[in-house]
Structure 1
């Protein structure tokens, strides 16, 4: 395999890791690996937010399987803490996914992942669950962009910022993440005999779409090496697009990471931002905290983390925006007998559970 092929496979593997870790629920991503590495990929974390927490175990497949990652089934997976408590995880119907049942992460405790596959034993290094602190202020500012049609300046969207205070002790590592919730009116559509949508079907119950931030621009990490004990001001945490003239609801997270977690996300961000040019940083293995006890030479990829999380809700009011780019929706149902409603199907991208801070 050439260095270019290796480089691309590392970047796509890194993207898989980003998608897998943006939430407690993990969605498999079919990374385009070009060979069959002798490795296990681990993704998952424990936090101080309510569970259940999901651990994903997969093996990257080679080109003969069109790049599909293969979930590891039948593993024995459990999490321990520094007080001697242990919780065994339950395998789900999704291949390679294992979930906790009662575990609730507690700030100040140390957690460790263990699992066994085909007689081999694996474990993470212990991870301390740190306090994420508080978000002192959250606010937004509009920014301008250049119209691709008129070449004139126009409203480009809104940047969302936070101000927060770093604790006095050194060695704090942060990650910021945001999730957008949009309340739905329609949860599906009626279709003709050819499968073309005709009109929208209203939701049977309350329902929200979940829009998660993905990609290198969404990996926002920092440490306190240069500003220990000082205020972290104007830290960008989200970008709100020009869309409909409505209120845009966000939940913003401030996460306290371990040093290993910080280096993991920082390396992924660097790999995803590289363009493949001759002046890019050479590809390297993404650092993790997993190892195989049975075979120390075996490569184990990924990260198990203990993540302290502070979460706040925030609304950007776009009703007075100078321009709109609202997508066209399907028409309402025709008059006459009401059509059936469409259910709100729970997934990583849709939920019927009211967001925690929702007040719209």
Structure 2
């Protein structure tokens, strides 16, 4: 009986793995919802807030912008920052001589659009400096072949005092690494509040998450070196709120889905949280508002300057 039981389990497993036919379910169109994408920072450049509408699930076209909105931010000292409408739902605060915001202040976003008023609050928290960006050499043996890798990492120390949260953004040859699997966030110098890693240099998994590990299109089960001679790596550390850390955590869970058989065990799809509140009606809004302080540093790889352990 036990043998028969195991055979049945094996048959069921084979049937499940063989069910790879694509299906195209018909979904009813949901009502449009306003989306406020408001990630603002203190870099010396123009700041952009996007106000758009949601689209049907299978619609891959560009989001439709909301026009004619009033968009502004006011800090706790009463300073107002007006965002002027540009194109397709983009509203811009133009940088002149001073960057946006002051560390330690709180900021209230207001968006008046289509008869509704949407609000949200964020704090501009401290951020550590990025002392340096370096590269190291690694020689890996897999499937009988040796592969050379040049790995980038950044060096930064979380300031003393628990509760700092960050979003680490990486740019290879000035191109932002924007895959869902490349979302790199930290709580103090570690991954989460329970890690109790405060006032230290960011732990290695966070430092190493600035590397793009792409599969080699010419060789199966092989990866390309994240960086080659002459490539550049630029790393930015953005301070974020605890709510933003939770938002990015959930965003990563919902979007980093490799598919295949393992998808059967993924976390069920759901909406990510939002801190955008409609103070006029019960109509929902999506998106997020966060104000960040930013520090960055970068380097170009010169393989002649990277030590190779013998």
TM-score (norm 2): 0.73
Corresponding position: 1:138 with 2:130: no
Partner of 1:233 in structure 2? Answer: 203
Q: Does 1:161 align with 2:134?
A: no
Residues 137, 65 of structure 1: alpha-carbon distance in 2 compared, 3 angstrom cutoff: closer
Counterpart position of 1:287: 273
**Residues 149-298 of structure 1: pairs in structure 2 closer than 5 A:** 152-155=145-148, 157-181=149-173, 210-224=174-188, 225=193, 226=195, 227-234=197-204, 235-239=207-211, 242=225, 246-275=229-258, 277-295=263-281, 297-298=282-283
Q: Is the 8 A contact 1:49 1:105 kept in 2?
A: no
Mark the CA change 1:151 to 1:64 in structure 2 (over 3 Å): closer, same or farther. closer
Give the direction of change, closer, same or farther, for the CA distance of 1:268–1:106 in structure 2 (3 Å limit): same
The aligned residue for residue 57 of structure 1 is: 51
Which has the larger helix fraction? Answer: 2
CA shift, 1:238, in A, is 2.0
In the alignment, the residues of structure 1 paired with residue 303 and residue 271 of structure 2 have an alpha-carbon distance, to the nearest angstrom, of 42
Work out the number of aligned pairs and report it: 255
> Is the 1:51–1:100 Cα contact (8 Å) retained in structure 2?
no
User: Match for 1:115 among 111, 115, 118?
Assistant: 111
Cα deviations by residue, 1:57-112 (Å, 9 ceiling, x for unpaired):
110123796654211111111111111011221111x2010100246222112122
Tell me by how many angstroms 1:121 deviates. Answer: 0.5
Unaligned 5+ residue runs, structure 1? 1-32, 182-209, 322-360
Distance, in Å, in 1 between the alignment partners of 2:267 and 2:226 is: 36
